[in-house]
Amino acid sequence: MTRSETLFQAAQLVMPGGVNSPVRACRAVGTYPRFLSEGRGSHVIDVDGNEYIDLICSWGPLILGHCHQAVEEAVLEAVRHGLSFGAPTEIEVKMAELVTKMTGTEMVRMVNSGTEAVMSALRLARGATGRSKIIKFAGCYHGHSDSMLVKAGSGALTGGAPDSAGVPAEMAADTLTAKYNDAASVRSLLEANPGQVAAVIVEPVAANMGVVPPQPGFLEALRGLCDAYGALLIFDEVITGFRLSAGGAQRHYGVHADLVTYGKIIGGGMPVGAYAGSRKLMEQVSPLGAVYQAGTLSGNPVAMAAGLAQLEILENNPDIYTALERKGKRLQEGLQEIFRKAKVPAQVNRAGSILTVFFSKTPVTGYDQARACDLERFAKWYRGLLEHGIYAAPSQFEAMFLSAAHQEEDIDAILVAAEEVAKTL
Ligand SMILES: *Cc1c(COP(=O)(O)O)cnc(C)c1O
């Protein structure tokens, strides 16, 4: 037995499924999780000493790769001054100044995860509009708060249960679900619930049913519908924020959202989330306004140090995004060519540096198509990649993430491995 298997056995005795977050358990792909011990740039090493090219990058946060020197040094420096105060610190001001500047928002509140960011933004939307219903899209994932576990993506979809037990029916009743890339489905819900919808929340690029980019005009249509029906538009940029561009999806697609949620990249690998928007909206949050929200460890100085160091690098090096686009495009086109040659029907969806391989004859533009793909073939593909030293997401309902640390040689190596694996599918 490998050391990973031994650890996994021990873990399952004391942790549900042996993990602290479900997709990590690798159940959908028929294997056990590799326990990781070290990351270096674009590579990770497991407890058995196997080295992999990392296409998960902590599910997105590590856009500069593992152990980036500037991020590491900023964290160590912060640690020396104290882990936490529960009082304002200078770095929180710097962080808020940089985040609002990069994202074109006016005010931001730091929290500790993407889940918390979304939960808080929804409360603010409800408080500001005096309305209670929320429209989300089937297959979009917005963290695990009660009202968002309705037709959810990511681990909920991987586990085959997009609606969670333990969510009161009354709570779920206020969550209406529309179809991604189908603005007409949103219009119908808004018309059927006049004056009741507080917000439409969307992943501007859906990445938790696998990567499904917005079709031209879809995000613009959502903006128009929200304006027409008095609902707020919330972009959940927990994945796309600081990834599609330094200014996230809002700047990339030129569509303005009323509230935006962040997570993953914003913390540089530390647990951070944030929600941001106009001064007028954000001033309704406590202690200024009536919408209560707080956090003992929010704005934690060590977490802020990691996030700020990473964001400063992204802000000051726009060429990172050009390179990510180039590497993403090469990987996408290379994979498509490999599947074409191997006569394996597959779609490689991509937005910038996030990609998903769907085993499907027809294009995947939404939830229904994503669910209809060949998941057994995906499991085989995953296990094949792993054997060839490629560490990809263990579920089709997730993205592969590239980082600035991935070199052209990494892309070469991934394509060589993919070609071998494709032959076995
Ligand atoms: C990961 C994710 C979340 C949840 O963030 P956590 O930090 O895991 O709580 C919310 N929304 C989107 C779009 C995500 O990808």
pLDDT in tens, 35-68: 999 999 999 999 999 999 999 999 999 999 999 9
Q: What's the CA gap between 196 and 122, in Å, rounded?
A: 14
Tell me the CA–centroid distance for residue 1 and ligand 1, in Å: 34
Atom of ligand 1 nearest to the CA of 143: 4
Q: Is the pLDDT of residue 161 over 80?
A: no
Tell me the CA–centroid distance for residue 114 and ligand 1, in Å: 4
Q: What's the CA gap between 94 and 328, in Å, rounded?
A: 31
Q: 141 CB less than 6 Å from ligand 1?
A: yes
Give the DSSP per-residue string, 358-403: E--SS---SHHHHHTS-HHHHHHHHHHHHHTTEE--SSTTS-EE--
Tell me the CA–centroid distance for residue 421 and ligand 1, in Å: 30
Q: What's the CA gap between 109 and 91, in Å, rounded?
A: 14
pLDDT score for 322: 98
Atom of ligand 1 nearest to the CA of 203: 13
- Three-class DSSP category at 421: helix
Q: Is the pLDDT of residue 163 over 90?
A: no
Average pLDDT over residues 18-41: 96
pLDDT tens digits, one per residue of 225-256: 999 999 999 999 999 999 999 999 999 999 99
Q: Pick the catalytic residue: 32, 52, 141, 180?
A: 141
73 band by pLDDT with thresholds 50, 70 and 90: very high
Q: What are phi and psi of 43, to 5 degrees?
A: -115, 150
409 band by pLDDT with thresholds 50, 70 and 90: very high
pLDDT score for 103: 98
Q: 239 CB less than 6 Å from ligand 1?
A: yes
pLDDT score for 379: 97
pLDDT score for 157: 86
pLDDT score for 200: 98
For this structure, is 94 an active site residue? no
Q: What's the CA gap between 144 and 163, in Å, rounded?
A: 11
pLDDT tens digits, one per residue of 337-379: 999 999 999 999 999 999 999 999 999 999 999 999 999 999 9
Write b or e for each residue in 159-191: b if 16 or more Cβ atoms lie within 10 A of its Cβ, otherwise e: beebeeeebeeeebebbbbbbbbbbebbbebbe
Q: 115 CB less than 6 Å from ligand 1?
A: yes
Cβ distance 352 to 328 under 8 Å?
yes
- Three-class DSSP category at 56: coil
Average pLDDT over residues 70-99: 98
Pocket test residue of 137, 239, 298 for ligand 1, highest count of atoms within 8 A of CB:
239
The share of the chain scoring above pLDDT 90, in percent, equals 96
Q: What's the CA gap between 159 and 402, in Å, rounded?
A: 25
Smallest CA-to-CA distance from 157 within 347, 424, 4, 378 is with 378
* 408-424 vs 375-387: helix crossing angle, rounded to 10: 130
pLDDT tens digits, one per residue of 112-145: 999 999 999 999 999 999 999 999 999 999 999 9
Q: What's the CA gap between 61 and 54, in Å, rounded?
A: 13
Number of alpha carbons in the 13 Å side-chain half-sphere of residue 421 = 21
pLDDT score for 174: 95
Q: What's the CA gap between 74 and 138, in Å, rounded?
A: 39
pLDDT tens digits, one per residue of 278-337: 999 999 999 999 999 999 999 999 999 999 999 999 999 999 999 999 999 999 999 999
For this structure, is 264 an active site residue? yes
Smallest CA-to-CA distance from 141 within 168, 162, 111 is with 162
Q: Is the pLDDT of residue 155 over 90?
A: no
Mean pLDDT of the chain: 97
Cβ distance 140 to 180 under 8 Å?
yes
The stretches of 199-318 forming alpha helices (DSSP H) are 218-229, 248-253, 279-282, 301-316
pLDDT score for 158: 83
pLDDT score for 266: 98
159 band by pLDDT with thresholds 50, 70 and 90: confident
Average pLDDT over residues 170-175: 91
